Amino acid sequence: MFEIDVEIRRSGRVIAAACNAPAGLTGLYGVSGAGKTTLLDMVAGLLSPDQGRIVVGGVVVFDKDAGVNLSPQQRGCGYVFQDNRLFPHMNVRDNLIYGMRRKTKGRNGVAVMSLDQALEFLGIGALVARMPQSLSGGEAQRVAIGRALLSAPRFLLMDEPLVAVDRARRDAILRLIERVRDELGLPILYVSHDRGELDRLAGMVVELG
């Protein structure tokens, strides 16, 4: 599903990564500074590698030698950030529907999910009128997952989605991610520094750094 072989120079250090991940959830594991987030940013198109090639689900999104570099909005990725990055000037509802205008080319992942279904699926129906800064870590992260899912992504990138979530809510989010993995059938790259979390979620674990 993900064929990645890239190299990038970041603040004088070369980060290189190669992996060939099957369908399902693939874990990216490594210590802080190993370049896990950098790798996700390159797959999302927020950073351009210096060398290499990235293919997702048969679509070449980056190929240095062939001069291919799709913009982030063309790649159809649903990116759940570590710091959630909800838009502070929009309420939960407007955050959720921000990506719904996208027409993803090729294989559509979960374009079928409506706003109501997402609210139900994530259990965030009561939050729609709230502003992001009034949400708890767990609520904000569920909204961020919903925003990514509603943008009709072809694949998901998750960067330590449990970091800002208090311990008591972690299990609920983990179960939610398992449902995303099993019921929606989207390929997922999942970054974590917690081996136990990855053993529970991932079909395959790639170690970086």
Instruction: Give 142's contacts (C-beta < 8 A, 6+ positions apart).
Output: 122, 123, 124, 173, 176
Rounded-to-integer distance, Cα 67 and Cα 70, Å: 10
Q: Is 186 helix (H, G, I), strand (E, B) or coil?
A: coil
Residue among 64 and 102 whose Cβ is closer to other proteins = 102
- Write down the least CB distance from residue 84 to other proteins, Å: 7
Least distance between other proteins and beta carbon 160 (Å):
14
- In whole angstroms, the minimum distance from the beta carbon of 85 to other proteins comes to 4
Q: Which residues bind other proteins (CB under 8 A)?
A: 44-46, 71-73, 75-79, 81, 83-89, 98-99, 101-102, 104, 131-135, 140, 147-148, 151
Q: Tokens 């311990």, residue? A: 167
**Residue 4 or residue 43: which is nearer to other proteins going by CB?**
43
* 3-class secondary structure, 65: coil
Pick 101 or 167: Cβ nearer other proteins: 101
**How far is the C-alpha of 30 from the C-alpha of 139, rounded, in Å?**
27
Report the amino acid identity of residue 149: L
Smallest distance, Å, CB 99 to other proteins?
3
Question: At its nearest, how many Å lie between other proteins and the CB of residue 57?
Answer: 16
Rounded to 5°, the CA angle 183-186-187 comes to 135
Residue 62 vs 79, nearer CB to other proteins: 79
- Using a 10 angstrom Cβ sphere, with 0-12 exposed, 13-18 middle and 19 or more buried, the burial of residue 188 is buried
Task: Specify the residue, 83 or 207, whose C-beta has the smaller distance to other proteins.
Answer: 83
Q: Which amino acid is at 12?
A: G
Any residues with CB less than 8 A from the CB of 33 and at least 6 apart, and which? 209
CB 185 to other proteins: min, Å: 20
Q: Closer CB to other proteins, residue 26 or residue 141?
A: 141
Q: How far from 50 is each of 8, 65, 153, CA to CA, in Å?
A: 5, 10, 25
